[in-house]
Chain A
Amino acid sequence: MTTTLELRQPAPLDLTGYRLGQPQRTGRLTVVPLFGPAYPGIGSPAAVKLARVVGYGKCLMSNAGDGVAIVPLHVGYIQDAAQNHALCRSAFLAPGQELLFADACCVQQSQGGYISDRGHGLFVLPVELRAAALDLRGVENYSKLWPAITALNTSYGLPARGHLEQVLTRQHAVLTQFQSRLELLPEQLGALLFIGECLAGIEIAPDPRYFAEMWVALVCFAYGPAARHAGPVDESVVPYDVSTVDELRLALAEDRRAVAEQTTRWLAEAPWQVSSIEETERFLDLRLSTVHGDGVAGQVVTDGQRLVYASLFSRELA
């Protein structure tokens, strides 16, 4: 069984030291935990705050932490009686810095009001919307994501409007169960996420604390909705063809090995062809780059060849 992470693309990235854990599965969502070397000095994503919304589609972000912050890609904010917003790109924020994201997007068509600082929920855009959001980075138009949200709602059998709340809020109780259905492991700093057999995303954080803070937003809201709507799984119970308890143990272990190998095969066969990696921002030795390709998109942070952060996702699910 392969336990090291061997990505064919994007290259050239140094993934030395990363290894895969035993897959966890619930419904149509499979998560392969990822372990590896932590990159020191990156601030907590919890310190990245939405300071205020200065206008529809314009979010002023701040970093209240001690270290440089990597703004999580496609992070969004929810608040009752206010227009929910999401960011279309990542960025670096130095400690104490404020940065205006003028290319953010509204995700709640027909809802008025600005998000205030009285507390808000955090999410990451559903994977089906992420390619559209990334492609629209730099475009200053608060309603730019509504067509994609409308299409997503339609595909889920929900009313056709640019209202992401129909997914995130009204299905909140079911989606938040994903944080219990799949469990974060000690020292885990990333994950491969599959919807059915499709590689839906690769999420790698600088360190386990960063990943833990983003875990709920990722598993519940970025990948949970797609998993929930991916159809039922076969729940038939077929007893093992064994004759002793020892044989049963072996059969169970063999099954687990087969699942791990299956995910490794899905990873290898994923139709992700990176065509280019475009540097977008830099902070000292850190580089934020946007990944372009067939079947894959996302952003990565590197220090030389060393991978620090990655949020890559499938375009196939869009």
Chain B
Amino acid sequence: MLTHELTGFVTHLQTPTEPLRIRRSGELAWPDEQEHASAYAADPVGYALLALVPGVPPSQRARVLLRILDSSWAEFPVETRATLNRVARVLTLGLPATACVPVMLALRHRRANHKHVTRALLRLLLEHPQADSLIGSHRAVLVACFEHALGKATARGCAKSLTDDESTVDLVRPLLRFAPSPMVAIDRVRALYTPGAAGELAAQPPPVPAPLDLDLDGERPAVVTATNRGDIAATLVHLFRGGYSADLRLAVDRMVTAAAATLPAFPGTLALVLDQSASMRGYGEREWAVLSQAVALREVLARRCARLDVVSVGGPDTPRGATDLASGVLDALATQPDLVAVISDGYENTNPGDLARVVATLPRIGVTTPVVFCHSAYSHSDDLTLRRPAPAMPQRPFWHQEDFGQLLLWLLVQTRHPDSGRWLREALIARLSIVEESVR
């Protein structure tokens, strides 16, 4: 899958960009269409799955949705069509409804009338959790898309029959067979063709529900404490505080096993440079929080990596000592890994700049193993300004157990093993299934 320039294309997808725009002329403004077209041509399924990589913004996910819907799938094998259909479904239901609008409009302007386009257009109207509010704000566009999906005469016939009590038109074949909930579908099509109905609702608009969670972000606490950042870290905090008991130790093992079962596998060799210096202990209300999440990640990785080599910087029994990340990376490289991941709070003091300098030197001496930086943070709002020892390194923060899945996918993206494309593809297909579970 996109083995050539996979990391670069994912980085492109994760870069914030302008949303798709339809000009008054009907022309679509899509500056990076060529990149998407090339990637899709190289591997349609692999390309589609990349939209599920965490951190890809809605603007890029909308582009992927448009790219896969705009083309014919007729020449593809059954499995390919099935996977594209699954991705199109979760993207349609997972993007904010307003982000889907330019996609659907573009498909209409391009006269794309494949069956999968019909399904996607109707899915937006009949299944999307935000469709009710979209009908209120984008009625004309939705009517146009609805009529493009069913054909103008059929669409209007369906609408008329829903407002005419004595109609005997069969709604199942043209419309309701696409609707998982016929009553919701009937209400929405009625509202679509009844101007003012949405206006009445707008007097006291209900809260707009969130779309499908494509990033599997999970729920995060509004107020972060050392022990509400996931079960594993919470239990480790109690152990580190001195509350050792066999029950806590067993609980950690049980929690790690449960968490690992839901996470992507890393079928390669991962070398972990684990910062266990004094600062990882933290202080005040954050004491033990950063270290516990780093250790939780190490435990989970130990179960999901084909081989995990851990190089401790400081420690290892208790957090102590200075932070020499550069030597840690060199030790990690000696294990011949597919990827080196540095897990640290980001305070490098022996000496500041050494990590950046060593990592910058590696390609010049023929070492192509990627080295990435994983910030162990306390919360989503940590100020990392003084904690980026090598700004040019690929880096990603994590603070909650729910971040582990995203982090593992990111590690797979960074890996340059010949099979890494396949590893990522398998992980994303598994993730697709998890996302689908939430709408079943």
Contacts and interface: CB of A to CB of B under 8 A. Distances in A.
A180 interface: yes
Given A24-B322, A238-B357, A245-B330, A182 B365 contact: no
Contacts of B352: 25-27, 233
A127 B149 CA distance: 75
B365 A252 contact: no
Given A183-B279, A183-B349, A252 B320 contact: no
B321 A183 contact: yes
Contacts of A182: 349
B347 interface: yes
A238 B358 CA distance: 9
B360 A25 contact: no
Nearest to B290: A180
B357 A180 contact: no
Contact of A240 (B327, B361, B390): B361
A248 interface: yes
Interface string B204-239: 000000000000000000000000000000000000
B283 A179 contact: yes
A252 B322 contact: no
Interface in A202-259: 216, 233, 235, 237-240, 242-245, 247-249, 252, 255-256, 259
B278 interface: yes
B356 to A, nearest CB: 5
B358 A185 contact: no
A3 interface: no
B351 A255 contact: yes
A256 B279 contact: no
Contacts of A237: 353, 356-357, 360, 390, 392
A278 to B, nearest CB: 37
Contacts of A180: 279, 282-283, 345, 347
A256 B356 contact: no
Given A248-B330, A252-B327, A177 B350 contact: no
Interface in B256-287: 277-279, 282-283
A238 B361 CA distance: 8
A40 interface: no
Interface in B346-370: 347, 349-354, 356-358, 360-362, 364-365, 367
A49 interface: no
Contacts of A259: 351
B335 to A, nearest CB: 12
A22 B322 contact: yes
Contact of A245 (B277, B345, B367, B390): B367
B357 A25 contact: no
A186 interface: yes
Nearest to B331: A249
B332 to A, nearest CB: 11
Nearest to A240: B361
Nearest to B355: A237
Given A237-B392, A239-B357, A252-B358, A186 B365 contact: no
A252 B386 contact: no
A137 interface: no
A255 B279 CA distance: 24
A259 B333 CA distance: 25
A22 B361 contact: no
A181 interface: yes
A249 B352 CA distance: 16
B349 A181 contact: yes
A242 B364 CA distance: 8
Scoring A177, A184, A245, A247 by chain B CB atoms within 10 A of each residue's CB, the highest score goes to A245
Interface string A177-197: 101111111100000000000
B363 to A, nearest CB: 9
Contacts of B347: 26, 177, 180-181, 183
B326 interface: yes
B286 to A, nearest CB: 10
Contacts of A244: 365
A252 B326 contact: yes
Contacts of B60: none
Nearest to B280: A180
B323 interface: yes
B360 A186 contact: no
A224 to B, nearest CB: 12
A256 B349 CA distance: 11
Nearest to A215: B278
Contacts of B333: 245
Contacts of A242: 361, 364-365
Identify which of B282, B321, B322, B360 gathers the most chain A CB atoms within 10 Å of its CB. B322
B351 A185 contact: no
27 contacts: A22-B350, A23-B351, A24-B350, A24-B351, A25-B349, A26-B347, A26-B386, A177-B386, A180-B282, A183-B321, A183-B323, A183-B347, A185-B320, A185-B321, A237-B357, A237-B360, A237-B390, A237-B392, A239-B357, A240-B361, A245-B330, A245-B333, A247-B365, A248-B330, A249-B330, A252-B327, A255-B351
In the A-B complex, the 6 residue pairs with the closest CB atoms: A180-B279, A183-B278, A24-B349, A239-B361, A239-B360, A237-B356
Given A24-B322, A245-B330, 13 more contacts: A181-B386, A183-B277, A183-B347, A183-B349, A185-B320, A237-B392, A240-B361, A242-B365, A245-B365, A245-B367, A248-B330, A249-B327, A252-B327
